[in-house]
């Protein structure tokens, strides 16, 4: 698709929170928060001519490598939120994108995301085949208070669940959707952490893709300040999540 006439380097998009996106407490699920952020990023890529459809002409797609989300408050059912996004850096096969969510003009969520261009046939990163110079970059305009950090995967972690990848876990790139990893882990924590909104921030690191019928093990390491999960396949780490608690 060509670059849209209404394309701008900073996009703001409104979303209404519906009941299917909410936890039992009536507030937006963390998984659906991530979905809204990524849908906004996808909409911006679509307007700028570097969407999944555009990139598939070269067997390419954007895949998420890292994501940090900082939460001041969560919206609730029927709230209308505005998600704002722009690109910090974009070079060759890598891009850092910033996202913010606003409710009634007040910022409630900030997110920093790291994306890689992925060849969907060769299953490896490569340089973006499409032009992107029309995107103005904002390297100093950060959406989060803290940048990506290293998630410490303690070797004393506990095995809490074993999982087989089903077709419902896959996305259009034919691997486990990034939000599914988060969903698997959040299903294993104390429900009060969700209901009482005790997650202040979280960070995800995607290391290796998972495919249909893969068998994985989910590990957990809990402290007063955080809960750390890792997902491994054949003793190799594929994913790490750190939930920072209030």
- Average pLDDT (220-232) is 94
Average pLDDT, stretch 162-176?
Answer: 97
The answer on 154 and 140 residing in a single domain is: no
**Do residue 139 and residue 153 come from a single domain?**
no
The answer to whether the predicted template modeling score (pTM) of the entire model surpasses 0.85 is yes
Are residue 37 and residue 125 in the same domain, yes or no? yes
* 32 and 119 inside one domain: yes
pLDDT tens column, 183-205: 999 999 999 999 999 999 999 99
Residues 139, 159, single domain; the answer is no
**Taking 90 as the threshold, does the pLDDT of residue 81 lie above it?**
yes
108 and 201 in a single domain? The answer is no
Q: Which of 122, 145, 168 is the last residue of a domain?
A: 145
Inter-axis angle of helices 178-186 and 30-47, nearest 10: 170
Half-sphere exposure of 232 (CA within 13 A, CB side): 14
Report the pLDDT value the prediction gives residue 153, as an integer from 0 to 100: 87
Residue 156 has pLDDT above 70, yes or no: no
Average pLDDT over residues 227-237: 95
Q: What does the pLDDT read at residue 157? A: 77
Q: Say whether both 11 and 117 belong to one domain.
A: yes
pLDDT greater at residue 57 or residue 155 = 57
pLDDT above 80 for 235: yes
Domain range holding 243?
149-246
The β-bridge partners of 90 are: 95
Arithmetic mean of pLDDT over the chain:
95
Based on the domain organization, do 225 and 155 belong to the same domain?
yes
The residues with which 91 forms a beta bridge, in sequence order, are 94
Pairing assessment for the beta strands 158-164 and 11-16 based on DSSP bridges: unpaired
Mean pLDDT of 77-100: 97
Kindly report the CATH number assigned to the domain that includes residue 118: 3.10.129.10
């Amino acid at each position: 698709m060509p670059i849209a006439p209404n394309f701008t380097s900073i996009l703001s998009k409104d979303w209404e929170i519906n009941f299917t996106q909410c936890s039992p407490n009536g507030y937006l699920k963390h998984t659906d928060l991530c979905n809204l952020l990524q849908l906004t990023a996808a909409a911006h890529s679509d307007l700028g001519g570097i969407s999944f459809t555009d990139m598939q002409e070269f067997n390419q797609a954007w895949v998420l490598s890292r994501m940090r989300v900082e939460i001041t408050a969560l919206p609730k059912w029927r709230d209308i939120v505005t998600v704002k996004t722009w690109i910090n850096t974009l070079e060759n096969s890598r891009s850092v994108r910033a996202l913010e969510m606003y409710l009634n003009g007040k910022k409630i969520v900030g997110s920093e995301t790291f994306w890689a261009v992925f060849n969907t046939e060769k299953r490896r990163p490569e340089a973006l085949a499409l032009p992107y110079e029309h995107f103005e970059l904002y390297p100093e305009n950060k959406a989060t208070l803290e940048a990506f950090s290293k998630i410490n995967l303690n070797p004393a972690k506990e095995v809490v669940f074993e999982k087989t990848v089903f077709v419902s876990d896959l996305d259009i790139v034919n691997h486990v959707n990034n939000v599914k990893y988060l969903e698997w882990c959040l299903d294993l924590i104390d429900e009060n952490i969700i209901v009482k909104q005790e997650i202040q921030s979280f960070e995800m690191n995607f290391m290796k893709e998972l495919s249909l019928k893969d068998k994985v093990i989910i590990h957990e390491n809990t402290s007063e300040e955080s809960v750390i999960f890792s997902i491994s396949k054949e003793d190799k780490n594929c994913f790490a999540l750190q939930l920072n608690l209030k």
